[in-house]
Chains A and B, each alone.
Chain A
């Protein structure tokens, strides 16, 4: 906005008036009033024990839960991303069996609620009391007790990871299809096989499109892990719920859990912003600037 005075026709300097944004002032007042009233209602509520919130915020079980939530989110996201790329590549394969399998996978895991999948994995022992890997028609192999393997944590990781893979596969597919077809033709013309073309030429370029949404998936995963409390995964939400079930301070512990979730998603949002800046623009490289050429060549001032 201009602040420098303007010379009028006679040459005298006349100051420029400030624009008043009445709409902004009005909405700010209204928002403050409503929001302030709500905060006031909660803060001064005699039935809410803020002291308990403060004590439980750094309670040992809560902190252990936060750690499990982080672990679970990272592992399930990694599982989902790796599997998602695999499913996407299968989906785009010329082999109708592979692409059919991938389509079925996506259909199934997107079509059933995560909650159902979590409970299903957790109770796998009902169907298969023991997990056995052995050479067919012999007794050589390994065997585990399903209930020991399928803890709340592994069930949660599998359920969340497999589910994310189905969604992520579609993101990856879009990324792969966004890479110009000319890149594929050039790769073929050089004598690359379809698999090599995918690995060396197409996927590295698709990454630029695929990576920014992974931040979103991770943030979403941080909160989805709270569903794990149905299978006692010992995550933040499970532990908070176990505490409030014993002392009945439901609101206090929900506030504690929310504060931690907000902190985690805030950090993740910050990281996502950096990720997007790194990969969002076409001008950046996935590898360090200049790549091999920069090492081989003397530095030439541009």
Chain B
């Protein structure tokens, strides 16, 4: 079976600043792939490339069987139209660091929004499904609340439900717990554990080393826009081969961690 994500030599730059310098990366179906690395290493940018929020400027990035941003037609790669981008993103869920819930919608409307406006699901059906998903993330009682009435952890769980409502083949998490108060981190990780156990294909950019060790099938260490090291989480965390990985891990864990 071909991988869900296959990046070969992916390059990306903001103006003159090179952010990705040839990323090689693969995710197989059903795999939970965690990505760690210092800030500015390009891990979030890479994740945003995967669903086309940032353009790939070099190399090849194939996601769900498509070359992101271009389609081969008449012997040439034609750049995607906004419609093609939209159609591609339907199948990929994304969870942001800052939740980005729609501020003018209740929790339930947030979850039902994608199916109603993108897939054309009838409202009643979408609402019923939204309630099921909110129940799954433990927020059925908060369905009528608006984002500003919810805690950060609750907002992020709604955001996960919102992404799941599209029945995505791949879920991307961009530092989903980094903006949360420490005591709210676990409730979000719990939902993600549940998803992983369900067999969802996930790419998780995170600083939660414990989560990566426990739930991840693969762990990738990014630095300076390239993949420095990857492997099975437990092995990589126990015996990092690269000096930079070791330095990063010790700084994250603190002395004696």
Contacts and interface: CB of A to CB of B under 8 A. Distances in A.
Chain A: number of interface residues, binned into ranges: 20 to 34
Contacts of A201: 102
Contact of A194 (B82, B93, B166): B82
B131 A192 contact: no
Contacts of A194: 82
A192 B86 contact: yes
A196 B162 CA distance: 17
Interface in B90-105: 90, 92-94, 96, 98-105
B129 interface: no
A183 B103 contact: yes
Interface in A144-200: 180, 182-183, 185-194, 196, 200
B85 interface: yes
Contacts of B86: 188, 191-193, 196
B89 A300 contact: no
Contacts of B94: 186, 189
Nearest to A189: B94
Contacts of A192: 86, 117-118
A268 B56 CA distance: 53
A285 B144 contact: no
- Closest CB pairs A-B (n = 8): A191-B90, A293-B144, A182-B100, A186-B100, A189-B94, A190-B114, A191-B89, A293-B108
Interface of A: 180, 182-183, 185-194, 196, 200-201, 204-205, 208, 282-283, 285-286, 290-294, 296-297, 300
Given A186-B94, A200-B113, 19 more contacts: A182-B99, A188-B53, A188-B85, A188-B89, A189-B51, A189-B92, A189-B94, A189-B163, A191-B86, A191-B114, A193-B86, A282-B103, A285-B104, A292-B109, A292-B123, A292-B127, A293-B109, A296-B108, A300-B144
